[in-house]
Copies of this chain bind each other. A is one copy, B any other.
Amino acid sequence: MGKQAKTAIEPTREDNYPEWYQEVIKASDMAEASPVRGCMVIKPWGYALWENIVRALDDMFKTTGVKNAYFPLFIPINFLEKEAAHVEGFAKECAVVTHHRLEQNEDGRLVPAGKLTEPLIVRPTSETIIGDSFSKWVKSYRDLPVLINQWANVVRWEMRTRIFLRTSEFLWQEGHTVHATSEEAMDRTRMMLEVYRKMAEEYLAMPVITGEKSESEKFPGAENTLCIEAMMQDRKALQAGTSHFLGQNFARASNIKFQSEKETEEYGWTTSFGASTRLIGGLVMTHSDDDGVVLPPRVASAHAVLMPIVRKEKDRQMVMDYTHDLADRLRQISYYGYPLRVEIDDRDTGGARNWEWIKKGIPLRVEIGPKDIASDSVFVGRRDKAPKDKFSMKKEAFADEICGILDEIQKNLYARALAFQKAHTRKIDDKNRFDAFFTPENKERPEIHGGFALSHWCGEAACEKAIKDRLNVTIRCIPHHLPAQQHPEESGVCIECGKASRQRVVFAKAY
């Protein structure tokens, strides 16, 4: 057997992780590059996954009192100038609209016309434009809190793009809230981080470390940025959601003032929080293997595909009827409040068909042929097991147990990812070991390194910068500020300068 027969995806993760990622996405039919630089086309299999993520997040937001709204795509340039740190962070690479018409020139080509007095930018994030609305909505403490979320597309003109992970246009949600006190705003910042943690761990089966960003890694203009960080299979970190405590900075910039209960005039305390289609990239890089994508059942685009096997034409009607009956039966079953998502693939392409669904990552593949029907059984393949590891089940038992099987797959994927994260996370207190941890052993595979280092840091930006410059390693988060990570404060010495440190932080290479 040639090498191709061993795995469905070439190259493997081991051979070339970045290329493996591109190939896995391609083979799954989730998304593709578009003719517009840096923008992607999200195909139905990828978009269905996004719809499930959206629904889960949206439900969680609403449970905490957040309501959805929609604000303009365009932001006047002068809005960006209001918050100094924000300009620095977002004004650099963005799409600028300068004209509002096209005209045909002498050659019949279309050219821009109707120059705008003031150019507009396509929103890279909406703090400033939403802040403008909030300044009108908020007058008194009785109007607070304001708890708003927006599902939208945003644009950041990225130079190097990678599908789902970093694209010029992406889909996301951005929450924006205003509160009467600093404490309440900080509580909301933590509450939303907990929503992201839950989303990542319980829905995407992606274990994360929650924590706080260092000064240099914060959101431009924020007082405090909380984040969830996941470990990908190349041991790099992926920031998968951020929740920002903005203090009164944006309220001052946007003039969000309210009359307090004591009748004094105060600036509001604001927060913002966002997660994006990047979550899909994280999910793919967490679970997928050398045979393709592996989708966690809670968000999978579909839960099961039924594949009728018809070898003799005389069996066709019988097999098809049996298949459709089973599909109908399964679609009546509720899985976490929504009907099971079941596909029927009746193409006569044999093994190729089976491999297509493996590459798409569907949790369950169900083959139904005349022999299975004779014993009222189905032949089931689980995506979390090896492709050839299939089993026969009575049809009734399958319908009764399918939700349990899906839960087991979900649990397995999480456990596997957590074991991987733990195996590649180390407490490191020696500078030489630290450097070695982040230095690839094999120069031909520069992406292979140690993983996450839990090491002491004195809190100085200079040490952080020195490490970044030397190793391209950054502080992903300071984990001890959050309940979930409340390990006792521990004293030690900074891995870089040797000065006293009160805390370990998470160092890693990152996407």
Contacts and interface: CB of A to CB of B under 8 A. Distances in A.
A100 B157 contact: yes
A92 B39 CA distance: 24
A68 interface: yes
A502 interface: no
Interface in A122-156: 122, 129, 132-133, 136, 142, 148, 152-153, 155
A142 B345 CA distance: 13
B110 A100 contact: no
Given A94-B102, A112-B119, A69 B81 contact: no
A351 interface: no
Contact of A101 (B69, B74, B78, B94): B94
A99 interface: yes
B68 A47 contact: yes
Contacts of A112: 96, 98, 119
A70 B41 contact: yes
A357 to B, nearest CB: 16
Interface in A86-119: 87, 91-102, 109-112, 114, 119
A72 B120 contact: no
A163 interface: no
A98 B96 CA distance: 6
A275 to B, nearest CB: 16
Q: How many copies, total?
A: 2
A121 interface: yes
Contact of A34 (B72, B87, B93): B72
A56 interface: no
A386 interface: no
B41 A72 contact: yes
A511 interface: no
A110 B81 contact: yes
A42 B71 CA distance: 7
A51 interface: yes
A95 B70 contact: no
Contacts of A92: 101-102
Contacts of A212: none
A76 interface: yes
Residue among A70, A76, A102, A109 with the highest chain B CB neighbour number at 10 A:
A70
Given A47-B70, A71-B41, A91 B98 contact: no
Interface string A37-51: 001111110011011
A74 B94 CA distance: 13
B73 A87 contact: no
Given A36-B76, A110-B77, A70 B98 contact: no
A122 B122 contact: yes
Nearest to A133: B41
B35 A76 contact: yes
A333 interface: no
Nearest to A153: B73
A99 B102 contact: no
A36 B75 contact: yes
A499 B44 CA distance: 51
Given A93-B114, A100-B157, 13 more contacts: A34-B71, A35-B72, A36-B72, A36-B74, A36-B76, A42-B71, A78-B110, A92-B101, A96-B98, A96-B101, A96-B112, A97-B122, A99-B119
Closest 3 CB pairs of A and B: A39-B72, A44-B67, A96-B99
6 contacts: A44-B148, A48-B67, A95-B120, A96-B102, A98-B112, A112-B119
